[in-house]
Amino acid sequence: MQQHILVTGGAGYIGAHTLVELINAGYRVTAIDTLERSEFRIIEGVERIISKKIDFHQIDCLDAVALNSVFERNTFSSVIHFAAYKSVNESVEKPLRYYKNNVGSLMTLLEVMKRNKIRDLIFSSSCTVYGQPDQIPVDESAPFKKAESPYGQTKQICEQILENVISEGFRIVSLRYFNPIGAHPSAEIGELPIGSPNNLVPYVTQTAAGVREKLVVFGNDYDTPDGSCIRDFIHVSDVAIAHVKALEFLINRTEASLFDAFNLGTGVGVSVLELVNKFIQVTGMKLPYIIGPRRPGDVEKVFANPQRINQAFGWRTKYTLEESLLHAWNWEKKIRNR
């Protein structure tokens, strides 16, 4: 019997790429999204890639009645939960909004899953749960330190909730993303920021396309080789494929309940200035940038030790940093009709 997967936040950046990989792997999917922070054209892009229609519903995960109606009309085997706000910077400015949406939507989803006897969940977490780790690269044994932002704390709280609910029979894998970048190689889907981008690469590509006057690099006085923050940049399609592997991992486990967490990164630290210069090199585009002050909520340096996920899932990253930046640029050119 074909497994049927519910994907929340399915029109989002990582959600849409995961829809593609799930369908390519033979799963049936239903996607829900509020479209508050995305557009339906992303779903249409997925449909062009896979040459079939997506079962899509415009629903808020905070709306228990609407969410339950989707469960009652379908027989889901698992849920992948992407739906959440994700801007570190915005969360500093609007913490209440982040707690209500990110924690509240998970609580509502878990209650609806329990009511409908669906127990398997892949959760979209973040490396921000570690705060500023004592040891780099960071592995899954690292303790949760004080989060540098309300966004990071919502992910810490959500993971703590998930650890607790296994007593009610849930089986959960939490994937702690580092920094997804890039776009689908077809350029049919990619990151689509609403308003000014909060993530680095869309700001880079928009600046190169002339949408933004200049890029601001937030801080060059960190304790790093070139003074800019260090991150673990991973192609979004590699992230998407890891979700398919996580589903296989859960399906093959025999435990009645479990919680496990995995770092989802490349294991390579790249500084912001290194990425900027790599983009210029790969695309040949001019990229005006200035150095600005540090940004509240930013961690100085963090990159993954991905050994556990490599071994448990048999998963490895496929795309290079150069390919990731080129795919992001091709997507930017497409949405600017160039």
The residues annotated with a catalytic role in the active site are 151
Burial track 310-322 (b if 16+ CB lie within 10 A, e otherwise): eeebebebebebe
H-run or E-run covering 108: helix 104-115
Phi and psi at residue 121, to the nearest 5°: -140, 130
The whole-angstrom separation of Cα 314 and Cα 300 is 30
**76 and 122 in contact (C-beta within 8 Å)?**
no
* Sign, CA torsion 51/56/58/62: negative
- For the packed helices 13-24 and 40-50, what is the interaxial angle rounded to 10 degrees? 20
The whole-angstrom separation of Cα 12 and Cα 40 is 10
Q: Per the omega criterion (within 30 degrees of 0), is the bond before 143 cis?
A: no
Phi and psi at residue 291, to the nearest 5°: -95, 125
Q: Which residue has the tokens 């350029």?
A: 187
Q: Give the pairing type, strands 270-271 and 230-231.
A: antiparallel
In sequence order, what are the residues at sequence separation of 6 or more whose Cβ sits closer than 8 angstroms to the Cβ of residue 91?
A: 85, 98, 149, 150, 151, 152, 154, 297
H-run or E-run covering 290: strand 289-292
**31 and 59 in contact (C-beta within 8 Å)?**
no
**36 and 8 in contact (C-beta within 8 Å)?**
no
**99 and 150 in contact (C-beta within 8 Å)?**
yes
